[in-house]
Amino acid sequence: MPSTQKYKRILLKVSGEVLMGQQPYGIDLDTVGRLADEVLACAATGTQMALVIGGGNIFRGLAGAAKGMDRVSADHMGIMATVMNALAMQGVLTRKGMDARVLSAIAMPTVCETYSRAKGIHHLEAGRIIICAAGTGLPFFTTDTGAALRAAELSCDALFKGTSVDGVYSADPKSDPDARRYDTISFNEILAKDLRIMDPAAIALARDNGIPVVVFSIRKPGAVVEVLSGGGLFTTVTKD
């Protein structure tokens, strides 16, 4: 299996909402456990795994700003939420016997390691799973952009974007019966058609660094390892 796989090192991005399971808010540990099993199944194929988990299940800066909060403080709260999610995932992975490390873009040395490229690559090469937390470490950004940034820095072969749909569609498949799913699509087409699979800054970063983005449904059990081996439904976003 490992030698036939296209991607040797991937960055898997999931939004914080995935961690909620059926709950309206927060972290459902059973759901984190299921996601951890998927990640472990990928790691078992020999693929080096870096994770980025959003924070939307706990707090989004824009929502805070809409209620009158200072945007920068609100974004810092969103950033903290991503660290909480990362710690939850690390705990579950560790309990399952995997050495996993949280690398935060904002230094909090008594809580987790501080992100550096060298440290990230060192852990990956040692067979550990890394969870890149705190997004870019900066307000006004998103964890999608953080994911594209880390994928570029860590020389990942692909950015796997787990969403609630099984790829990129020409229109919203929930409201448009004529919507068709692309097997492949270019970054520029995504931007031109304003197909919002990730924010435009993240798309541009992946495009400029030649990192294919693989969009698939994280809701489908076993999807990550299936897509990793080239099966199942997904869309690959590439340069041309």
CB of 147 to ligand UDP, least distance (A): 9
Alpha-carbon distances, residue 132 vs 64, 184, 214 (angstroms): 23, 27, 19
Of 8 and 24, the one with the shorter C-beta distance to ligand UDP is: 24
Q: Using CB under 6 A, pick the residue from 120, 146, 167, 212 that binds ligand UDP.
A: 146
Let me know: does 54 contact 14? Beta carbons within 8 Å: yes
Per DSSP, the chain holds a count of helices (H) and strands (E) of 8, 9
Interface with ligand UDP, residue 136, by CB under 6 A: yes
Q: Does 143 bind ligand UDP (CB under 6 A)?
A: yes
* Among the listed residues 11, 12, 15, 158, the single contact to ligand UDP using CB under 6 A: 15
Residue among 10, 42, 55, 115 that touches ligand UDP (CB under 6 A) = 55
CA separation for the pair 223, 33 (Å, rounded): 15
* 52 closest CA partner among 93, 83, 21, 8: 83
Q: How far apart are CA 146 and CA 183, in angstroms?
A: 25
- Cα 229 from Cα 183, distance rounded (Å): 15
Q: Which of 141, 182, 187, 234 binds ligand UDP (CB under 6 A)?
A: 141
C-beta closer to ligand UDP: residue 69 or 121 = 69
Interaction between residue 157 and ligand UDP (CB under 6 A): no
Chosen residue from 35, 61, 93, 236 binding ligand UDP by CB under 6 A: 61
User: Is residue 162 near ligand UDP by the rule CB under 6 A?
Assistant: no
Instruction: Looking at 46-185, list the stretches that DSSP marks H as alpha helix, in order from N- to C-terminal side.
Output: 61-66, 71-95, 117-125, 143-153
Burial (CB count <10 Å: 0-12, 13-18, 19+), residue 199: middle
The two structure tokens encoding residue 78: 């969103």
Provide the mask over 66-95, with x wherever binding to ligand UDP is found by CB under 6 A and - wherever it is not. Answer: ---------x--xx-xx-------------
**What is the Cα–Cα distance from 38 to 129, expressed in whole angstroms?**
12
Among all chains, which residue has been given the structure tokens 């969870």? 131
CB 11 within 8 Å of CB 156 = yes
Between CA 32 and CA 23 the distance in angstroms is 12
Member of 12, 20, 42, 139 binding ligand UDP (CB under 6 A): 139
> Looking at 14-22, 91-99, 120-128, 158-166, which segment touches ligand UDP (CB under 6 A)?
14-22
The residue whose Cβ lies closest to ligand UDP is 54
Site for ligand UDP (CB under 6 A): which residue of 11, 43, 60, 185?
60
| Site residues (CB under 6 A) for ligand UDP, limited to 95-114 | none
Residues in the site for ligand UDP, rule: CB under 6 A?
15-17, 54-56, 60-62, 75, 78-79, 81-82, 135-136, 138-139, 141-144, 146
